[in-house]
Structure 1
């Protein structure tokens, strides 16, 4: 199996894992959202990344001491921006509903996260060769996600009613969240100085990318932690931590699955070569959407849906699959 095929497989597998990472939340019965999210954030953004670096990167965390702010700041800042996107995503979903909110956030996050690294690293023209394939893949992905969101709106029309003011503010928040959500990928794309330092310390070049995550995700931890902390104080929900089982275990599992998917994607970027952080990101995101769609079908979310909404949902899968094939070819 070639490195390219390994990279595509890792990106696909990562997308499948992240598409299912929130499934345990359905089993949480007592804890409010802020308790769940605090544990999720601690496990996914701090505990696992730090533990992984201790295991995979020789001399960690001393390698950071020899780096300049110019090496560390981009990944941290982009990670912080992504963390803000996570908080805004939850607000957008409450105002727009899952279907439309997910469509806007994932669509924008994929396009920006795919095209910005390509342009920033000057890997060619957007309208020729691989660049054109990236643009076509993003366009098809946007079409597929848009159709999926439209189908979800038709399905949930009676379940979710929103005032004009709520809708407009929700759409603005979702747009900001979508743009900022691409920063998780940008934190990796612009963290080359960190991974190079890890290689010099003796880390294998294929796994050196994990040294970026503690810096990037530390940035993401800040807004997630403080938002959860603020909700805990406002809602006076601290007492729920006195009963950590089973809700705490499900929350931790969510965090472990999410960071596992992120690590798989990071490993995929190395195997995919120069376009790993562009086409690889799009493949990862598309697989996440497809997995979430299939999970919804299995969970019976479309059981009583109208025929037009089911038709739109089924049609949306074709451009997503086509986009995955085109983007995979762009990495060769």
Structure 2
């Protein structure tokens, strides 16, 4: 396995670790509505950081973006909005199915769709079956999906042992939202593929290969920001009991703490895709669709590890932890299979 591929897998792991930890600061926010907290984190993650970093990287920020036609930018933006819809559905999935079942179904679907739909749309999917490397990477996707299923089952065992149940459990509604989340969240994978002309233009300007994808985040995350912020602002304006004025009338120290924690959560959310770009840059072009599989499976892996470190798996029985470890090892195996496939 080449050093570049190993580095690519490593940076995807780092990005996934940031994704698995990003909600920790949000959990420390007190006496704020979720909508206000999420909006502030989102403004940092989807607007301030992509624009600032792109402004630093690009020799002429405005000239770069004005060089693209609407036919190039619009698909990138719309796929970003598609990803934003998936974000909203993800939270609702957890609400109606609980964490374990929700994550298993949503992540499983988005892993499959986001990974395999890109080569299908590019007309490359059939050729994968005809090459040893392609067959190996497809096997890695299957093993990763099994690993996600095992980790999700471990979570279900933990919830049962601890008597945890979704606050508003509704199987029919939850399954529908999980499927929608899985489909729409794959928009990030599609957006990265649609943004290839932007990446090539960045490279032509002499930007380091590790950073060529970052300017496209202005457009991709702009689409996601539009959906998420519109959802939050509409709820803040229409739902009884939610009030921006009340959220910002807290004591000064608590208000500052809430703002800083929300901004930190937004920073960590952005960093997952910052390092996703680094990982993506090291994956061979013919296997670039594997970036999404690596990111999503590592997301589940890191989520399980973080849960163990935070002692969230103390439930009076060893079985959930044993199953979790098996699932994590399966995902690690999947990453190695994919790496070997790309190297062959």
Paired position in structure 2 for 1:140: 143
| Whole-angstrom CA distance in 1 between matches of 2:308 and 2:211 | 35
Alignment map for 1:127-206 (pairs within 5 Å): 127-128=129-130, 129-157=132-160, 158-160=163-165, 166-206=170-210
Paired position in structure 2 for 1:311: 322
Between stretches 291-300 and 61-70, larger displacement belongs to 61-70
C-alpha contact (below 8 Å) 1:81/1:181 kept by paired residues:
yes
Is 1:31 the counterpart of 2:32? The answer is yes
Paired position in structure 2 for 1:67: 68
Segments of 5+ residues of structure 1 without an aligned counterpart are none
SS at match of 1:203: coil
Paired position in structure 1 for 2:59: 58
Segments of 5+ residues of structure 2 without an aligned counterpart are none
C-alpha contact (below 8 Å) 2:313/2:321 kept by paired residues:
yes
Q: TM-score, normalised by structure 2?
A: 0.90
| Whole-angstrom CA distance in 1 between matches of 2:317 and 2:172 | 27
Alignment map for 1:214-225 (pairs within 5 Å): 214-225=218-229
| Whole-angstrom CA distance in 2 between matches of 1:274 and 1:185 | 14
Match of 1:241 among 248, 258, 262: 248
**Alpha-carbon offset, residue 63 of structure 1:** 1.5
- CA RMSD, Structure 1 to Structure 2 (Å): 2.0
Q: How has the CA–CA distance of structure 1 residues 8 and 309 changed in structure 2, closer, same or farther, with 3 Å as cutoff?
A: closer
**Alpha-carbon offset, residue 90 of structure 1:** 0.8
Alignment map for 1:5-16 (pairs within 5 Å): 5-16=6-17
**Alpha-carbon offset, residue 122 of structure 1:** 4.1
Q: How has the CA–CA distance of structure 1 residues 180 and 130 changed in structure 2, closer, same or farther, with 3 Å as cutoff?
A: farther
Q: How has the CA–CA distance of structure 1 residues 80 and 161 changed in structure 2, closer, same or farther, with 3 Å as cutoff?
A: closer
Paired position in structure 2 for 1:94: 95
Q: TM-score, normalised by structure 1?
A: 0.93
Between stretches 142-151 and 119-128, larger displacement belongs to 119-128
CA deviations on 1:176-202 (whole Å, 9 max, x unpaired) are 101111111211111111222333444
Give the ranges of 4+ consecutive aligned residues of structure 1 lying more than 4 Å apart after TM superposition.
161-164
Between stretches 240-249 and 256-265, larger displacement belongs to 240-249
Paired position in structure 1 for 2:265: 254
| Whole-angstrom CA distance in 2 between matches of 1:294 and 1:317 | 8
| Whole-angstrom CA distance in 1 between matches of 2:51 and 2:227 | 19
CA deviations on 1:110-155 (whole Å, 9 max, x unpaired) are 1211112233334462324232222211211111111211221122
